[in-house]
Amino acid sequence: MTPAEQALRPATSIVVAGYGALTSGILPHLAALPDTRVALTSRHLTRAPHPAVRLVSPAEITTRRPDLILGCFENDARNRDFWTQGHLTAAITEHHPACLDLSTISPKRAEQWHQEITDLGGLPWECPVTGSRPGARAGTLAAFLHAPAPHETAERALTAFTRNRYRFTAPGNPARFKLIFNAWGAVLLYAAGEFARRLPSQLGADYPEAARIVTTDGWMAALAAQKLHRISERSYEDPDFAVRHMIKDLDYARDLLGDLPLLTAALDAFTEAETHHGPYADFTAVADTRGTP
């Protein structure tokens, strides 16, 4: 393609919906894509958080002629509210974009969403991710994907902010996997907190050596290396992943899996952590549900 042809080539258009811990990290990676215009629509922001990203209202999405609409929402209700509003359905019907949803939602809602987007003429890419805020900022999220057909822009966007992409064959299976994955991790974190809190009280001056061991050696090292410093310092502000989101995920997981004792115990502990530290505390606050040493 000649320089003149490149100049005439329309830029790829991506619209991002929802601004939170994940999308704040993802936006710079999308904005850095060549020949790409990125816009953000948000209920709360009054100015764009990145100089290369334009803040738009839902009514402006159609005028952006989106090739890709990327959404990330806190629960089923917010997911439904966004994707079924009139401005969105008009944009999907007119421009037939890929619709990439990163939300952790229920399998039932995921399957409904696939049907809704397909009926409008869009291409649904169900894609919950893991890695929290650090992974989003580093561009190393892991994606759990079901896509009924390829889409070049969706693939380019995912490649920009994910390191690994795992493909599932059925609608709703990424949601099912993500809920089990998160519930499993929540139980491990709850247990880690119960024992991590006891290392300093039991070992006294030898705690630094104990912390070095658990963060560098043995099968627990990956978890401890990421979370022990927050637990030991009671550093639950500025969340990588908020307690309230974990409670929602565990509620959905219990609907999927039933009242498993470990799942219920973890859900109770995270609920106590929310009561003690607030809904936007980092989820490591599960280690300090009553302010005990």
Task: Give me the pLDDT at residue 289, please.
Answer: 76
Convert the pLDDT of each residue in 231-256 to its tens digit. Answer: 989 999 999 999 999 999 999 999 99
293 or 194: which leads in pLDDT: 194
Residue 159 pLDDT exceeds 70: yes
Percent of the chain with pLDDT over 90: 89
pLDDT category of residue 148 using cuts at 50, 70 and 90: very high
CATH number of 3-171: 3.40.50.720
Average pLDDT over residues 224-235: 92
**Mean of the per-residue pLDDT values for the chain?**
93
Does an H or E element contain 125, and which?
A: strand 123-126
Convert the pLDDT of each residue in 162-203 to its tens digit. Answer: 999 999 999 999 999 999 999 999 999 999 998 998 999 999
What's the predicted TM-score (pTM) here? Answer: 0.91
Convert the pLDDT of each residue in 28-54 to its tens digit. Answer: 999 999 999 999 999 888 899 999 999
pLDDT category of residue 5 using cuts at 50, 70 and 90: very low
CATH 3.40.50.720 domain locations along the chain = 3-171
Residue 4 pLDDT exceeds 80: no
Q: How many Cα atoms within 13 Å fall on the side-chain side of residue 221?
A: 7
Average pLDDT over residues 224-233: 92
Average pLDDT over residues 109-134: 97
Nearest CA to 226 among 260, 262, 261, 196?
196
Q: Regarding the domain delimited by 176-287, which CATH topology (the fold level of the hierarchy) does it fall under?
A: N-(1-d-carboxylethyl)-l-norvaline Dehydrogenase; domain 2 (1.10.1040)
Residue 3 pLDDT exceeds 70: no
CATH 1.10.1040.10 domain locations along the chain = 176-287
